[in-house]
Amino acid sequence: MGKFKCAHCRGEFERKALIERGGELFCCEGCAGVYEILNSSGLGEFYERLGKTTLNPARGAKNAAQKSQEDLAAIYQNYVKNENGFSKISLIIEGIHCSACVWLNEKILFAQKGILEVNINSVNNKALIVWDENEVNLAQIFALIHSVGYEPYPYDAQAQEQRLAGQRREFYARLLVGIFCTMNIMWLAVAQYGGYFTGMRADVRSIINFAEFILATPVLFYTGSGFFRGAWGALKNKTQNMDSLIVTGTLAAYIFSIYAMFSRRGETYFDSVAMIITFVFIGKYLEILSKKKAADTLDNLNSLNLNSVSVKNGDEITLKSAQEVRVGELVVVRAGERVLLDGIVISGAASFDLSSLSGESAPAYLSAKEGENEIKSGSVCVDGTLVYKVGAVFSESVLARIINLLETAAAKKPRIQALADAIAARFSAAITALALATFAFWFWRTGELSAALIVAISVVVISCPCALGLATPVSTLVALGAGFRRGILFKEARIIESLAKCDTAVFDKTGTLTSGRLKVSKFTHAGKFDANALFSLVSGSDHPVSRAVGKYLRANFRDLKLLELSGFENIAARGTQAKLDGINLAGGSEKFMRELGLYDGEAARGTCYFFAEDGQIAAVFELEESLKEGAKECVDALKNAGMRVAMLTGDNEYAAKRVAEGLGVGETVANALPTDKAAYVERLAQQGRNVLMVGDGINDAAALALSSVAVCMGSGAAVSIAKSDVVLMRDDPASLAAAVALARRTYCIVRQNLAFSLVYNAVTIPLAMAGYVAPAVAALSMSLSSVAVVLNAMRARSER
């Protein structure tokens, strides 16, 4: 009796094992249910896209869904992140075999109201899902995926690492087999080639050919098994890739060599088959090592959530996974340990390395004292021991937000990659056509099948779509890691490209170029001036102007003394006044002095502090905001990079001009309201400028939103992360210049890699078509081209 196919999973079964529903046959109720759901939802197109691919039967979906429901609280606690009022989770979807499976899962999820974003990677089956908890919950999402026959699991870095470790062990075994067999084939080939000059009996040549056949077979089908899987996957989806080219070339040479070996007509090319597979595999190995090094920063961060922390419960200390610790529990941190959870110090004191958070190399001292008791995840205890109370679970910590930001950035492709992907997608098909044309030409010219086949194989093998595909993602991954180590977080990978193209930098003055703290820029005084009296007067006020004057006095006058004042009065928004030994003292703004009838001169152009003693103006201090350290160097670096630099501020023109002159900024807009800042950025954009807007994310949100790239300075604050494309975790303008330099260097490397890939193929493919390149040399060249692209991408790590 013949076999019958299940209408859903396409598996073949005996007729008696199938059930009939609506005129269709199914292997189980699960498949029947999935089939009905898809067709009733208008997703019957899935079966056309599926082609001949078979699926796992959809049995047990209800049980799996129930299990997920039971674990829902733990999943929400450990894996669900909240961003901008929406929930987000990374899942591994088991059962995805091809692009049709990806299409189906994305379609069925997007059809559900409340699901805002679905990104599924068909390579690692990892899905990023964002949803509105008010309209749909996680249990419904799991049920949707189950309903079409797939199994969702929360992404767990430890389980993923175990899976990758198994893959690496298999990879090493395949590599060793390839190298061992290929080295022995090369020795046999040397003997065989020597026979052309010294003479060799036919039976000896046959023995050597058979030995090469025995050695080449495991290389092709075991070492090269990954290439066959990739080629088969591409074939099922009616596409071609690099694996298709490798398999086509080596399989053709292998089959022809078997024919030549048994017919004793023509040459065998088992040595070429083994060398092609082994050289390409070694190239893949070097490529994987380089890519792993590029991803090390993110991998190391991801592994932190697997670490344990010391939880204090009375006198007992127990180890717990960071994800298991709850808010309010007490955690002990000792020297050498990394902080994994945010909280407040309640006892002890220690120094912490915050370089991974802010890029600041100087250790920070933390204790239970107010103002120095906030401890952030990601920092490392340098010395001392302390106990802190956990203020947020791991998924809501600063460290988790940074990991999430980097993961999201790495998952999204830059725009330039779309061009490379488009070229690579058509590349393999074009190479196959060229190889067939080459084979036809050489067979017509020489009449020899073996000669034509070898030239065609060289054409197939020497081409390298892989270099095109690697040009952008490896460079981007390296840049993301390099940026993180310097306290620069790119929200998406595409921002690197956008930042590299920016030609105009617009700064909101306060909080970016200036510290917001005042300092004395000019001091004038009359002959009679009592510094001790003034110091005593300003010491009684907490106003920023008074503090700036006091700081100036301490720095420039020796042996200052606090004198006993009487009748001290602090007048809001005006100044202070008091008496010293019956002498009236007054200090404050110009307006205050005019009100007291002590000053009738010209109006001050900036912020000034007047000091009057015994009814006379004794001293005048002109003040200005202090520039942030590195602000001048940042502006100079941007100008040297060819960028137009402008500054926006709500301050008056005089104050704005003083800051602009100190920084060398030529274009300044003063008295600017938030709406004026937004209009200025919009006007630049309409002129065709690519605008980099730098602000603090508080009063310039509209301007940030209208810019090509928005940058916020701070220590990873939520407001900065929410409103910016780039977060400078270190509150230092030098980080901005470094971010621009990193983006431009990375973009330059990407273009170099793309250019190299195109030039390499444009030069080597014609040489191979002309018959100048042997298959083994072609394989080596192709592997080296991929490795060269990856090594060039690693230059983005450079500090220069």
Which residue is it, tokens 């001949």?
52
Does pLDDT of 49 surpass 80?
Answer: no
Kindly tell me the burial class for residue 522, based on how many C-beta atoms sit within 10 Å of its own C-beta (0-12, 13-18, 19 or more).
Answer: exposed
Predicted confidence at residue 320, as pLDDT, reads: 84
Does pLDDT of 68 surpass 50?
Answer: no
Per-residue model confidence as pLDDT tens digits over 726-776? 888 777 888 899 999 999 998 888 888 888 888 888 899 999 999 898 776
Residue 62's pLDDT band, with cuts at 50, 70 and 90, is: very low
Whole-angstrom CA distances from 184 to 179, 180, 400, 459 are 9, 6, 51, 26
The identity of residue 698, as a single letter, is I
Tell me which H or E stretch contains 498. Answer: helix 494-501
Mean pLDDT of the chain: 79
* pTM of the complete model: 0.60
Instruction: Please indicate whether residue 546 or residue 712 has the higher confidence score (pLDDT).
Output: 546
Whole-angstrom CA distances from 203 to 185, 196, 207, 261, 620 are 18, 14, 6, 11, 109
Q: Which of 382, 394, 361, 383 has the alpha carbon at shortest distance from 485?
A: 361
Instruction: Please indicate whether residue 547 or residue 248 has the higher confidence score (pLDDT).
Output: 547
- Three-class SS string for 141-160? HHHHHHHCCCEEEECCHHHH
Residue 65's pLDDT band, with cuts at 50, 70 and 90, is: very low
Q: What is the CA radius of gyration of the chain?
A: 35
Predicted confidence at residue 767, as pLDDT, reads: 93
Predicted confidence at residue 61, as pLDDT, reads: 41
Residue 532's pLDDT band, with cuts at 50, 70 and 90, is: very high
The token pair that represents 4 in the structure block? 């019958």
| Domains delineated in the chain | 3-57 (no CATH), 62-155 (3.30.70.100), 166-300+415-467 (no CATH), 488-513+628-729 (3.40.50.1000), 516-626 (3.40.1110.10)
Per-residue model confidence as pLDDT tens digits over 140-170? 888 888 776 677 888 776 666 666 666 678 8
Mean pLDDT, rounded, for 767-793: 80
Instruction: Please indicate whether residue 671 or residue 410 has the higher confidence score (pLDDT).
Output: 671
Mean pLDDT, rounded, for 90-118: 76
The token pair that represents 78 in the structure block? 């450990």
d(CA 207, CA 211): 6
Q: Confirm if 414 and 475 have CB atoms less than 8 A apart.
A: no
**Percent share of the chain, pLDDT over 70:** 76
Instruction: Please indicate whether residue 289 or residue 61 has the higher confidence score (pLDDT).
Output: 289
Per-residue model confidence as pLDDT tens digits over 205-242? 888 889 989 999 999 999 988 888 777 766 765 666 66
Does pLDDT of 1 surpass 60?
Answer: no
Mean pLDDT, rounded, for 272-282: 78
Catalytic residue selected from 243, 271, 342, 508 = 508
Per-residue model confidence as pLDDT tens digits over 588-634? 988 899 999 999 888 877 788 999 998 889 999 998 877 888 889 99
Q: Confirm if 237 and 98 have CB atoms less than 8 A apart.
A: yes
Which segment, 104-113, 334-343, 635-644, is predicted with the most confidence on average?
A: 635-644
Alpha-carbon torsion, ordered 735, 741, 742, 746, to 10 deg: 170
Q: Which of 301, 291, 377 has the alpha carbon at shortest distance from 339?
A: 377
- Catalytic-residue membership of 696: no
Q: Confirm if 9 and 55 have CB atoms less than 8 A apart.
A: yes
Three-state DSSP at 787 gives helix
Query: In sequence order, what are the beta bridge partners of 644?
Result: 504
Angle at 327 between CA 324 and CA 330, to 5 degrees: 85
Predicted confidence at residue 567, as pLDDT, reads: 92
Per-residue model confidence as pLDDT tens digits over 435-460? 899 999 999 998 888 888 888 888 87
Which residue is it, tokens 């209208």?
706
Three-state DSSP at 662 gives helix
Q: Which of 544, 524, 620, 539 has the alpha carbon at shortest distance from 578?
A: 539
Predicted confidence at residue 537, as pLDDT, reads: 94
